[in-house]
Amino acid sequence: MSNNNEVKMTAWEKVELARNPKRKTSLDYVEKIFDEFIELHGDRNFKDDKAIVCGLASIDGQSYTVIAEQKGRTTKENIERNFGMPNPESYRKAVRFMKQAEKFNRPIITFVDTKGAYPGIGAEERGQGEAIAKSIFEMARVRVPTVAIVVGEGSSGGALAISVADKIIMLENAIYSILSPEGYSSILWKDSSRSKEAAEKMKLTAEDLYEFKVIDKIIAEPKEVDNFAFEKITEEIKNEIMNTISELKKKGTEKLLEERYSKYRNMGEFIRL
């Protein structure tokens, strides 16, 4: 966790850190954590949407399927990747590779970093809601171990679609919620300017979510992540992936599915209380 001498940040400060354009992207983590990564493309239906990157990866001889939401660094990259807001073809691509992972018995690692699924007319025409629901449904029942890592902004169904995992890991300065603070304040108070107040009420920080048993592990990180800190963070994530997958594989498929079902059923009941 953070240094005890540091002043505790507000929820809104965490939101700003998670959205910082200089923050490390999902592919920064993928390239550092895995020994090898080969990107695979397309949903075999419409096109290859670059807001979600899928591919094959390995650590010490163990193969994985990686599904990662990816923002851009520059304006050009952000336009190319739709500012990290997936279209339905991204989720259909993710489902395609979930199924492939199941076929070849590869654990699935997802990296969550999006302000939400793209709400454009074209996305709605191509079935955005159905694509998100299908991704949630398939990930909930996929017959291989799954780990989701929230590395930045995890907002709305766009994040939930690839985070129904056996274990959820979250970086200390990331956020994870059902929608953005602006969306929350607009719906609840009809006033998007109250987003700072909304962030506090939403309990979207890693500390809050760990207390509510929504996530399973917090990876510590400083406000400013330099190369040394990034090296340490990625090493810890790498160890968490290897140890968690090793433990999950010992359970056997039926127990794995049973525990995953119980995890999310109990989580829903706990949050309603």
Mean pLDDT of the chain: 93
- Does residue 129 form part of some domain? yes
Residue 121 covered by a domain = yes
Q: Is residue 234 part of a domain?
A: yes
DSSP lists the bridge partners of residue 114 as 154
pTM given for the model: 0.94
Please state the domain count of the chain.
Answer: 1
Host domain of residue 195: 11-272
pLDDT band at 273 (very low <50, low <70, confident <90, very high): very low
Residue 188 lies in a domain: yes
Q: Do the domain assignments include residue 224? A: yes
Q: Is residue 125 part of a domain?
A: yes
CB neighbourhood size of 40 (10 A) = 15
CA 216 to mean position of chain CA atoms: 13
- Report if residue 4 sits inside a domain: no
How far, in Å, CA of 131 to CA of 52, rounded?
13
Question: CA-CA distances (angstroms) from residue 232 to 149, 170, 219?
Answer: 16, 15, 10
Specify whether the CB–CB gap between 148 and 94 falls below 8 A: no
Q: pLDDT tens for residues 183-230?
A: 999 999 999 889 999 999 999 999 999 999 999 999 999 998 999 999
Element (H, E) at 54: strand 52-59
CATH of the domain at 181: 3.90.226.10
Cα 57 from chain centre:
17
What confidence score (pLDDT) does residue 8 get? 83
3 part of a folded domain:
no
